[in-house]
């Protein structure tokens, strides 16, 4: 696990940054599969997409649980999550301006 400001150490991304990016992509995948299902005409294609959607939802749930356990993601407090997002963003901006 990387040490440092919680975001970037040297040229390496922290576990929190990678997990956050993965969560964003997982949520996007869920939305994309759901949209594709509504557009699919063929029932076999819909079944395949539904299976992929279910797997994507499961992955997103597991990743969210991990992030919550690590204190990287707060679902109960919007203010707390906004504070964490601002801190994460500021640390990343500071690193870009001052790479080590």
Residue 86, in any domain of the structure: no
Would you state the pLDDT for residue 43?
94
In this predicted model, what pLDDT tens digit does every residue of 18-64 receive, in sequence order? 998 999 999 999 999 999 999 999 999 999 999 999 999 999 999 99
Q: Alpha-carbon distance 25 to 38, whole Å?
A: 20
Residue 92, in any domain of the structure: no
Domain count, the chain: 1
CB-CB neighbours of 34 under 10 Å: 14
Our CA angle for 19, 22, 26, nearest 5°, is 135
CA 56 from chain center: how many Å? 12
Are 17 and 8 in contact by the 8 Å Cβ rule? The answer is yes
pTM of the predicted model as reported, rounded to 2 decimal places:
0.68
Residues of the chain with pLDDT > 70, as a percent, come to 81
Residue 100, in any domain of the structure: no
Domain interval for residue 41: 9-73
Residue 16, in any domain of the structure: yes
């Amino acid at each position: 696990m990387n040490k440092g400001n919680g975001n970037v150490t040297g040229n390496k991304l922290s576990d929190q940054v990678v997990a956050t990016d993965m969560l964003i992509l997982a949520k996007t995948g869920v939305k994309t599969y759901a949209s594709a299902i509504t557009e699919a005409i063929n029932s076999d294609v819909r079944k395949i997409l539904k299976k992929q959607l279910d797997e994507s939802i499961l992955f997103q749930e597991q990743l969210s649980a991990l992030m919550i356990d690590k204190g990287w993601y707060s679902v109960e407090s919007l203010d707390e999550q906004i504070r964490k997002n601002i801190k994460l963003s500021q640390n990343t901006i500071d690193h870009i301006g001052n790479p080590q």
